[in-house]
Amino acid sequence: MGHLGSDVPMRILAIARNTFRENIRDKILYNLILFALIMILSSIALGQLTLGLESKMIIDLGLTSVSVFGTLIAIFIGISLVYKEMEKRTVYALLAKPVHRWEFIVGKYLGLLFTLLVNVVIMAIGIALTLLYQGGTETATFARLLPAIYLIYLSLALTTALALVFSTFSTPALSALFTLFLWIIGHFNADLLQFANLTKSATVGWVAKSLYYALPNFSNFTTLDSRNIIQSAAHAQAIDAGAILWITAYGLLYCCGLVTVAIAVFSRRDFK
């Protein structure tokens, strides 16, 4: 058991590396990247219709593509992360080796996070190249894209963690639905808080407020200082670094919590 404890990081990394390789071999992944790149390039064509807002169009369409396609990748690969291993029964071979179940889950999660990182970086380079091709973009604008891309990546990490939780106990179709619903609900969290403040019933208010804190707040990653993060990037506006730190803390906490839930569920599963 002592031997099992000392190589934990190596085993997690090995699982993560294999997950990444498996994802890269997945054809859906390539299609999504290609589609996202085509969308970014099409922003040049659409930009012609905006009467002088070409750069804004490229940034808006590019960052939205990063977010939408990243979310699709996070959901559709995240939901099959664990389920596929159980379905193909490869999990038996893996768990027969000296690997803890929690290491398996963490390795899977990190592997998909790395896949998403590669995707986001490729798409970000695509946006930068499109802006360079279009010309007339100041260097500061490229720097302003980074906080938006970072926050999009954090939201993708949260979506992946959600998909991972469902993947441990549900079928891919249901997991996709649950994750998608929570992702949508997570954008309306502010309305829950408003409802809690407006309602006259203390119980309803308490329930609404509890839900506000319990549900993943995806609007944290889209709105900063009451400004939309993609808009701030498109208009090259400065972003509060302190707020980004707090959002990072929120994202890390929530992801850790969800991965813990995934581990707890997966550890209790009976594979006999």
Partner 1 sequence: MSTLATASRYRLWVFTAALLLCSASIKPVQDRVTACLARNPSIDPDLLYFASPGAVRSLSLGYQSLLADLYWIRAVQYYGRREEAARRQVRYRNLAALLDITTTLDPRMMDVYRAGSSFLAEPEPIGAGQPEESLKLLDKGIGLYPDEWRLRFDKGFVYFWALKDFKKAGQVWLEASRIRSAPPWMEGLAAMALSRGGAVETARALWERQYQNSASREVKENAKNHLLSMQVDEMLWTIEFLAGKYAERHGGYPANLDDLVRSGYLKAVPVDPSGVAYDYDPRSGRAVLSPETRVRYLEVPYDYREAFLQKLASLFPK
Residue 171, SS3 per DSSP: coil
Q: Which of 178, 188, 212, 250 lies at the binding interface for partner 1 (CB under 8 A)?
A: 188
- 104 vs 218, beta carbon nearer partner 1: 218
Q: Residue 228 pairs with which residues in a beta bridge?
A: 223
Q: Which of 33, 41, 44, 46 lies at the binding interface for partner 1 (CB under 8 A)?
A: 46
If you search the block for the tokens 């000296």, which residue do you land on?
98
**Residue 56 binds partner 1, judged by CB under 8 A:** yes
Q: Find out whether 243 and 147 touch, Cβ atoms under 8 Å.
A: no
**Residue 234 binds partner 1, judged by CB under 8 A:** yes
Q: Which of 184, 238, 245, 253 lies at the binding interface for partner 1 (CB under 8 A)?
A: 184
Q: Which of residues 212-231 bind partner 1 (CB under 8 A)?
A: 218-219, 221-223, 228-231
Q: Which of 187, 211, 250, 261 lies at the binding interface for partner 1 (CB under 8 A)?
A: 187
Q: Which of 19, 23, 55, 67 lies at the binding interface for partner 1 (CB under 8 A)?
A: 67
For residue 148, which phi and psi values (nearest 5 degrees)? -65, -45
- 31 vs 50, beta carbon nearer partner 1: 50
Q: Residue 223 pairs with which residues in a beta bridge?
A: 228
Q: Which of residues 137-176 bind partner 1 (CB under 8 A)?
A: none
**Residue 42 binds partner 1, judged by CB under 8 A:** no
Q: Which of 1, 51, 173, 241 lies at the binding interface for partner 1 (CB under 8 A)?
A: 51
The minimum distance between CB 218 and partner 1, in angstroms, equals: 7
**Residue 53 binds partner 1, judged by CB under 8 A:** yes
- Residue 229's identity, in one-letter code, is I
Q: Which of 87, 138, 191, 225 lies at the binding interface for partner 1 (CB under 8 A)?
A: 191
The minimum distance between CB 65 and partner 1, in angstroms, equals: 9
Q: Which of residues 79-98 bind partner 1 (CB under 8 A)?
A: none
Bridging pattern class, strands 227-228 and 223-224: antiparallel
- 155 vs 168, beta carbon nearer partner 1: 155
Lookup: tokens for 164: 């991972």
How many of the chain's residues bind partner 1 (CB under 8 A)? Answer: 29
Binding site for partner 1 (CB under 8 A): 46, 49-53, 56-57, 60-61, 63-64, 67-68, 184, 187-188, 191, 218-219, 221-223, 228-231, 234-235
